[in-house]
Amino acid sequence: MIVAEGLEQTYTSLGRPLRVLTDINLTVEPEGFVAIVGPSGSGKTTLLGLLAGLDRPTAGRVALDGQDINPLDEDERARIRAEKVGFVFQNFQLIPTLTALENVLVPVEIRRALSGGAAKGAEERAGNLLGRVGLGDRLHHYPAQLSGGEQQRVALARAFANEPKILFADEPTGNLDAETGRTVIESLVQLNNEERTTLVLVTHDTELASHAHRIIRLSGGRIVEDPGSRPG
Amino acid sequence: MKLPFILAMGRRESRASRRRLGLYAGSIGLGVAALVSINSFRANVTDAIRAEARGLMGADLELRSTRRFSAPIQELIDSTASDEIVVSYVTNFAAMALAVDVQRTHLVDVRAVQGSYPFYGTIETEPPGRWAHLRSAHNALVDPAVLVQLDAAVGDTIAIGNARFTIDGLLTKVPGDVGFVTALGGRVYIAAAYLDETGLLGFGSRTVYRAFFRFAEHRSLDSFLATYEDLLRNEQVRYETATEREQDFTNVLDLMARFLGLVGLIALLLGGVGVASAVHVFVRGKLQTVAILRCLGASQQMVFAIYLLQAVMLGVLGATSGVALGLVVQASLPTLLRDFLPVEIHVSVEWPVIFAGLVIGVWVAVMFALLPLLTVRNIAPLQALRREFESARSPGVLRFGAHAAVVLTMVALSIWQAPDLTLGAAFAVALGSTTLLLWLSAWFLIWMTRRLFSRKARYVYRQGIANLYRPHNQTVAITLAVGFGVFLVTTVYVVQGSVLRQISLDATPNRPNLVLFDVQKDQRDSVESLIVSHGLPILNTTPIVPARISHLKGRNVREILSDTAGPRVPRWALQREYSNTYRDSLVDSERLVEGVWWNSGYLRREGERGNQPSRRPLSQPRTAADVYRISVEQQLARDLRVAIGDRITWDIQGVQLETEVTNLREVDWARLNLNFFVVFEPGALDDAPQTFVTVTRSESARHRAEVQRDLVLAFPNVAGIDLAVVQESIDSILSTVSFAVRFMALFSIVSGLIVLGGAVATSRFQRIKESVLLKTLGGRNRQIRQILLTEYAALGLLAGLTGILLGSAAGGAFVAFALELSFHPPILPLAAIWLGTAALTAAIGLASSRDVFRKPPLMVLREMGE
């Protein structure tokens, strides 16, 4: 489902090059659950951004669901994200002017706008997703009216709204207390199992990572441990 | 299929910002209101004038002359009059009216009517219907102002010259007359049958003889003019048709309205600045949302469209409210400008103007929003993961395009609103230059403040000043917006003040404030004795000799007028009746610019040239060969194309007098002095038919009125002008004009204050955060208030200073170069405007920041944390 070959990423900071990732090679099979762990500054989030097509690597290539995304322009990448990818962010990233239900519907509406097709039962599915994460009675509340954990659960529901093939989660419990984080993880894992998505999770939380089928450890911008990797 | 999503997201995204965006919509609305009101009014006026075209003149054709119609002209009129072509006469002259009972006098504009004038339109009176009785007896119909000036009432008796009339009613409507003309002397209508009885139409009276014609068929009028145009011109009779009168009025009122509309356009520009400011701040608050949408798959085009929709909605809201306000203002303009309107205006909705206002309002909002909206296009989805990730800047070509769109919009609007292309382009350049100068001044003052403000000042002051240049501040935009309003007010104020100061009466003891004219030669001594007997000084007595030019540089005037190949000399300069004088010295409103003033009383003979004294002293009898010296005003000399040494022959009541231009003078016409185009040397006109103007002075208005009363009783033909009254009238007219301009400028000022209020509201959250932080660290409300007060007062001082500096410069340049007057900046009033701006800005800023003090820290911290 996800293939990365020879990925490198270098940024310019204060006029000097800063290499963040070096020679990253990995493959994630369909319906796989991969956790990318590592200390702060190891390049986890950068790798996630490259795999999701949010950024362009300095070197190497990424393929999602068999399609090389390197040659695609920004709008083409956006289309792929709309059709195949879901996101969960550390700071929830809900749109503050939309209700919970409207936030969940945004990916569906974007996809409908791009492809022209009518998404039947989208609102019902969105309500259903919110119910599955325990927010069935909070459909019309705005993010400001929800707690952090509740907001993250809305974000989870949004991530699954378009029935994505791939879900990227960046430190989904990073801004939550332990107990709330556990609730969110349970919802994430349950939804992932039910929806049969390929899940790539970035975290420094070992307990969260333990839920994954495979743990890829990064350090200093390199993969230092990957039990499921193929030689590059 | 993208549109439903864009519309839905656009609507949802505006939820939290509607009130603030609504505020900015108001600034667009004010600009639209200014344009809709003035342009609708202009259309109403044009319609009204067109509908009452013939009523403006009361006839189809008017012939006008400053002397009795010559025999050929009278013969023409008499032969033309018939059932098909009806003629009526009105004779105008200025005279002193005396209210017999109360013995009050005032200068009035007497109109003696013969025939059935007006042929079109009606003269309305109070009581109604008194016009029909005008000719039946010694009746007079007067302006209401005349009753006030004479302290008289309907039914009282007034004396005009030697004749007495009963005030039979008041004039409430006279077709074609504008209100402000009565400021200098009210109208009195009498029957022409009693004109001779007044005894006032003698030598020296300034009388205008008018003949009005009604043609049954228009083609008769065309045929008449085609046949007799040359005769009329040769006999120095001016003519005007009703169509030409209509066109003149339309042109003047159109010009006035377009000018006011240009002032209103500035409000729209400020509205655009407000929109740009609002959208900039709005977009900055949406960076994360846009990144999220991009992450979720929205295209560049889609997100740009969502936020462009906000700008369109803002424009629609602003334009719609502006149209509504404009209609309200339109209804009040006829009242505001009634003194300048010759007809009654019926307010009606002008749909094309409304449609234009709506389109313009939306267009301006969108064009000004484009540049800040470009940011949205380039927000990287990666920002959803990394807040610190810097998105790329928009390509230069797009930014250039956005700037160009704004510039082209303002140029197009200026040209559309202005009377012509040149003026529109000039206005656009002036607007752009002023905006740039204001922006530069604002930027410079802020930079200076930052550099010079003492680091040793108290914390609250340092923090307040530092807030002016916090990241993403709106300081320059606010300074520009508020400063523009101050600039407009200052410019109008400076120009008005300079004009009034120029014409104001000098209060020094030797400056006259009472002018008596039409004093006949044999009355001079008696008039002066009467004045002296009242304890008033004779400051000066000036002879006035009416004359016309008969030959110019040896050529007959008629020959010059009919010469189409030679250099053009204005007809008015050749045909007018000049009021000349003679004296031996310059007066203080004159300055010699070329040649030499005559210092010796010698005459020159024919053949002699230059300023060389001849051998014949003045005391010797004059002969036909004598050539007198004259001094000519320099602009007139240019118009007549004469230079020193050239000869002008004058016709003085039938006597030819040859003169030679000896020097040229520059005359300060704005001074309330007796100024002359042509001054003769002493001795040249001693024996010529002449009247005198005597000037005197009294500090007491009552005393001046008594002198005038006694003069009128003894010498009915002598008219007096109290210059204090004249100045009041001019003050009043200028005040009305400047009020109209300031009224339109008010739109800009309020627009600027909306931009200020909106910018304050926009940064409200940030201020709350800062104040909470300060409170958490131990700061008190009083200190926070001091910080905010420092910031807003500084903002107001900067904006005010920018505005008054540039306004003074612009006003001063206009006064000095366009009006050619001396400019003296009114320091104290400018200081008051400056400090007033600072106070107003501070008040609005503090009022908009009430929440900053009200919310307890914990509540805000909780809201922020969630």
Instruction: Tell whether A62 is covered by a domain.
Output: no
Nearest to B385 among A49, A81, A112 (CB): A49
Instruction: Tell whether A12 is covered by a domain.
Output: no
Which residues sit opposite B678 in a β-bridge?
B632
Instruction: Tell whether A7 is covered by a domain.
Output: no
Whether the per-residue pLDDT at B293 is higher than 50: the answer is: yes
Which of B385, B386, B389, B863 best tests the A interface by mutation, with the highest count of A CBs <10 A? B385
Instruction: Tell whether A22 is covered by a domain.
Output: no
Q: What is the pLDDT of residues B216-241, one digit of tens each?
A: 877 788 888 999 988 888 888 899 99
Q: What gap in Å lies between CA B573 and CA B563, rounded to an integer?
A: 15
User: Nearest-CA distance from B309 to chain A in Å?
Assistant: 16
Whether B12 and A74 lie within 8 Å, measured CB to CB: no
For residue A88, is it left (φ>0), alpha (ψ between -120 and 50) or beta?
A: beta
- Please tell me the predicted confidence (pLDDT) of residue B399: 85
DSSP SS3 for A73 = coil
Q: Quick count: other Cβ atoms within 10 Å of Cβ B103?
A: 15
Q: How far is CA A106 from the centre of its chain?
A: 16
Nearest to A110 among B296, B386, B866 (CB): B296
Structure tokens at B216: 């049954």
Q: What amino acid is encoded at B537 in this protein?
A: P
Whether A78 and B5 lie within 8 Å, measured CB to CB: no
Q: Which of residues 117-176 of A touch B (CB under 8 A)?
A: 144, 147-148, 158, 170
Question: Percentage of chain A with pLDDT > 90?
Answer: 25
pLDDT level of residue B855 (50, 70, 90 thresholds): low
Instruction: Tell whether A24 is covered by a domain.
Output: no
pLDDT level of residue B508 (50, 70, 90 thresholds): low
Whether the per-residue pLDDT at B608 is higher than 60: the answer is: no
Q: What gap in Å lies between CA B122 and CA B449, rounded to an integer?
A: 66
Whether A96 and B381 lie within 8 Å, measured CB to CB: no
| Residue B243 exposed, middle or buried by CB count within 10 Å (0-12, 13-18, 19+) | middle
Q: What is the CATH number of the domain that holds A87?
A: 3.40.50.300
Q: What is the pLDDT of residues B328-373, one digit of tens each?
A: 999 988 887 777 777 778 899 999 999 999 999 999 999 999 988 8
A/B interface, count of CB pairs below 8 Å: 97
Enumerate the residues of chain A whose CB falls inside 8 A of the CB of residue B21: none
Contacts of B150 (CB under 8 A, 6+ apart): B97, B98, B99, B102, B104, B105, B106, B156, B158
Residue pointed to by tokens 């991530």: A159
Enumerate the residues of chain A whose CB falls inside 8 A of the CB of residue B380: 54-55
Instruction: Tell whether A23 is covered by a domain.
Output: no
- Please tell me the predicted confidence (pLDDT) of residue B319: 94
CA gyration radius, chain A: 17
Whether A109 and B9 lie within 8 Å, measured CB to CB: yes
Contacts of B748 (CB under 8 A, 6+ apart): B30, B263, B264, B266, B267, B270, B484, B485, B488
Please check whether residue A198 is in contact with residue A166, taking contact to mean a CB–CB distance below 8 angstroms.
yes
DSSP SS3 for A63 = strand
Please check whether residue A219 is in contact with residue A60, taking contact to mean a CB–CB distance below 8 angstroms.
no
Please check whether residue B408 is in contact with residue B432, taking contact to mean a CB–CB distance below 8 angstroms.
no
Task: Report the domain count for chain A.
Answer: 1
- Please tell me the predicted confidence (pLDDT) of residue B194: 93
| φ/ψ (deg, to 5) at B53 | -50, -50
For residue A161, is it left (φ>0), alpha (ψ between -120 and 50) or beta?
A: alpha
- Please tell me the predicted confidence (pLDDT) of residue B89: 94
Enumerate the residues of chain A whose CB falls inside 8 A of the CB of residue B4: 113
* HEC-encoded secondary structure of B817-848: HHCCCCCCCCHHHHHHHHHHHHHHHHHHHHHH
Higher pLDDT, B516 or B612: B516
Enumerate the residues of chain A whose CB falls inside 8 A of the CB of residue B298: 78, 82, 110, 113
Q: What gap in Å lies between CA B636 and CA B593, rounded to an integer?
A: 13
Whether the per-residue pLDDT at B749 is higher than 90: the answer is: no
- Please tell me the predicted confidence (pLDDT) of residue B453: 77
CA gyration radius, chain B: 35
- Please tell me the predicted confidence (pLDDT) of residue A117: 63
Whether the per-residue pLDDT at B835 is higher than 90: the answer is: yes
Higher pLDDT, B664 or B743: B664
| Low-confidence winner among B50-54, B709-713, B839-843 (lowest mean pLDDT) | B50-54
Q: What amino acid is encoded at B350 in this protein?
A: E
Note down the domain range covering A210: 30-54+73-225
Whether B6 and A113 lie within 8 Å, measured CB to CB: yes
Q: What is the pLDDT of residues B306-339, one digit of tens each?
A: 989 888 888 999 999 999 999 999 998 888 777 7
Which of B11, B14, B295 best tests the A interface by mutation, with the highest count of A CBs <10 A? B295
CA angle B734-B736-B742, nearest 5°? Answer: 100
Residue B235: in which H helix or E strand, if any? none
Instruction: Tell whether A177 is covered by a domain.
Output: yes
User: Nearest-CA distance from B840 to chain A in Å?
Assistant: 34
Give Cα separations from B690 to B520, B582, B685 (angstroms).
7, 11, 9
Q: What gap in Å lies between CA A199 and CA A189, rounded to an integer?
A: 9
- Which ranges of B168-241 does DSSP label H, i.e. alpha helix? 195-198, 218-234
Q: What is the pLDDT of residues A41-55, one digit of tens each?
A: 888 888 998 998 888
